[in-house]
Every structure is written in C-alpha cells, then in structure tokens.
C-alpha cells in the first residue's frame, strides 16, 4: 500500500480548518489506487541553482502557499465548479480500460 505523503495530510488539515466536514476529516476520504504505468514514485526539486545564481528565496512556506491556494479555490467555486461537468473529468487516465 502507498504511503500518504505529508503534502496530502497538510491539504486535508487545511480543508478541515477552512471548511470542516459535518463529521470526520477530509483525510478519511483518502483511498489508494494502482499506480499508472510509468508513474514517478517520487517528485523532487533542487532549488539550489536558483538560490545561488539569482539569490531567489520563496516569499511563503509550502504550507502557507497551500493554504492560500486552497482559499482561492474555496473563494472561486463558481469558476471551477462548472469545469467538473466537462468530458473526461474524473476518469482515470494512463491506464488501459
């Protein structure tokens, strides 16, 4: 079984704080599926070059950025909700039917 990443747990905690469910946590909805063929098991970014060459530093933490992103989606539901009715949304891609 796959391991739930801290990122997923963080997103669930943010949603629990910003739009609580009547019962339980958003983390209760986490389910595991078989990986797609060719799916990367790990994603990583090495920010050392942009820091060293340009002196760039992030203005917010990952957690702050996630909270801002979640808040945007909560505030703009009228924009994204209609997109859910588009063909192919919710279908599993990258696997043979």
CA distance 76 to 78: 5
Q: State the total domains in the chain.
A: 1
Kindly report whether the global pTM for this prediction surpasses the value 0.85. Answer: no
Q: Is residue 62 part of a domain?
A: yes
Q: Is residue 96 part of a domain?
A: no
Cα–Cα distances in Å, from 73 out to 18, 58, 59, 66, 78? 11, 22, 20, 11, 9
Question: Are 26 and 12 spatial neighbours (Cβ–Cβ below 8 Å)?
Answer: yes
97 residues of the chain, pLDDT tens digit each:
456 688 999 999 999 999 999 999 999 999 887 777 767 767 778 889 999 999 999 999 999 999 999 999 999 999 999 999 998 888 877 666 5
Domain of residue 73, residue span? 6-84
Q: Is residue 31 part of a domain?
A: yes
Q: Is residue 25 part of a domain?
A: yes
Which is nearest to 92 in space by CA: 44, 35, 31, 18?
Answer: 35
Q: Is residue 97 part of a domain?
A: no
């Amino acid at each position: 079984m796959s391991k739930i990443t801290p990122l997923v747990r963080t997103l669930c905690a943010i949603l629990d704080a910003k739009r609580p469910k009547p019962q339980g946590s958003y983390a209760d909805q986490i389910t595991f599926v078989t990986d797609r063929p060719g799916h990367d098991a790990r994603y990583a970014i090495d920010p050392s070059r942009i820091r060293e060459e340009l002196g760039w530093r992030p203005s917010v933490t990952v957690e702050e950025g996630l909270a801002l992103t979640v808040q945007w989606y909560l505030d703009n539901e009228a924009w994204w909700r209609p997109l859910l009715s588009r063909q192919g949304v919710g279908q599993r891609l990258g696997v043979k039917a």
